[in-house]
Chains A and B, each alone.
Chain A
Amino acid sequence: MKSFIQTGAVALFAAALLASTAAGAKTLVYCSEGSPENFTPALNTTGTSFDAARPVFDQLTEFKPGTTETEPGLAQSWDVSPDGLTFTFHLRKGVKFHGGVNGFKPTRDFNADDVLFSFNRQWKDDNPYHKISGGKFDYFSDMDMPASLDSVTKTDDYTVVMKLKSPNAPILANLAMDFMSIQSAEYADFLLKAGKPEQFDQIPVGTGPFSFVAYQKDAVIRFKAFPEYWRGKAKIDDLVYAITPDPTVRLAKIEKNECQIMIAPRPADLAELGKNADINLLHAPGLNIAYWAFNTTKPPLDKLEVRQALIQAVDKPTIIKEVYQGAGQAAKNLIPPIMWGYNDDVTDYAYDPAKAKELLAKSGITLPLEIDLWWMPVQRPYNPNAKRIAELMQSDLAKVGVNATLKSYEWGEYRKRMQAGESMTGQLGWTGDNGDPDNFFFLFGCNAEKKPASQNLAKYCDDAFNADLVKARGLSDQAERAKIYKEMQVIMHNDALMMTIAHSVVYEPIRKSVEGYKISPLGSHYFYNVDLK
Chain B
Amino acid sequence: MIKFILRRLLLTIPTFLALTLVTFVAIRLVPGDPVEVRAGEHGISPERLAMLRHEMGLDQPVIVQYFQYLWQLAHGNFGTSLRTSGPVATEFFSLFPATLELAFCAMMFAILLGIPAGVLAAVRRGNVLDHGVMGISVIGYSMPIFWWGLLLIMFFSEWLNLTPISGRIDPIKFYFDTPTGFMLFDAWWSGQEGAVWDAAQHLILPTIVLGTVPLAVIARITRSSMLEVLSEDYVRTARAKGMSPLRVVGLHALRNALIPVVTSIGLAIGSLLAGAVLTETIFSWPGIGTWLIESINERDYPSLQGGIMLISSFVIVINLLVDVLYGAINPRLRHGR
Contacts and interface: CB of A to CB of B under 8 A. Distances in A.
Interface string A130-165: 000111101001100000000000000000000000
B142 interface: no
A214 B94 CA distance: 14
B241 interface: no
B76 interface: no
A385 interface: no
Interface stretch (A99-107, A304-312, A450-458, A485-493): A450-458
Given A38-B85, A431-B41, A258 B165 contact: yes
Interface in A43-63: 43, 45
Contacts of B166: 244, 246, 249, 252-253
Nearest to A201: B85
A242 B171 contact: yes
A20 B178 CA distance: 18
Interface stretch (A218-226, A353-361, A459-467): A218-226
Interface in A393-423: 409-413, 415-416, 419
A416 to B, nearest CB: 7
Contacts of B158: 252, 255-256
B275 interface: no
Contact of A133 (B48, B85, B290): B85
Contacts of A202: 86
B32 interface: yes
A278 interface: no
B256 interface: no
B173 A21 contact: yes
B85 A413 contact: no
B44 A453 contact: yes
B153 interface: yes
B286 A17 contact: no
B32 A412 contact: yes
Contact of A411 (B37, B91, B153): B37
Interface in A29-50: 29, 34-35, 37-38, 43, 45
Contacts of B191: 13
A145 B282 CA distance: 41
B164 A416 contact: no
Nearest to A142: B42
B168 interface: yes
Contact of B168 (A219, A245, A428): A219
Contact of A243 (B39, B43, B85, B286): B286
A64 interface: no
A240 interface: yes
20 contacts: A13-B191, A17-B192, A27-B172, A37-B84, A218-B95, A218-B284, A218-B287, A218-B291, A242-B284, A246-B281, A248-B150, A249-B150, A249-B166, A255-B158, A410-B31, A412-B32, A413-B31, A430-B41, A453-B45, A455-B41
Interface of A: 13, 17, 20-21, 27, 29, 34-35, 37-38, 43, 45, 133-136, 138, 141-142, 198, 201-202, 214, 216-220, 222, 240, 242-246, 248-249, 252-253, 255-256, 258, 380, 409-413, 415-416, 419, 428-431, 451-455
Given A43-B85, A410-B31, 13 more contacts: A17-B192, A134-B82, A135-B55, A218-B95, A242-B284, A245-B284, A246-B281, A249-B283, A412-B32, A413-B32, A419-B43, A453-B43, A453-B45
8 shortest interchain CB distances as A-B pairs? A218-B286, A412-B36, A410-B31, A412-B32, A219-B286, A134-B85, A453-B43, A133-B85
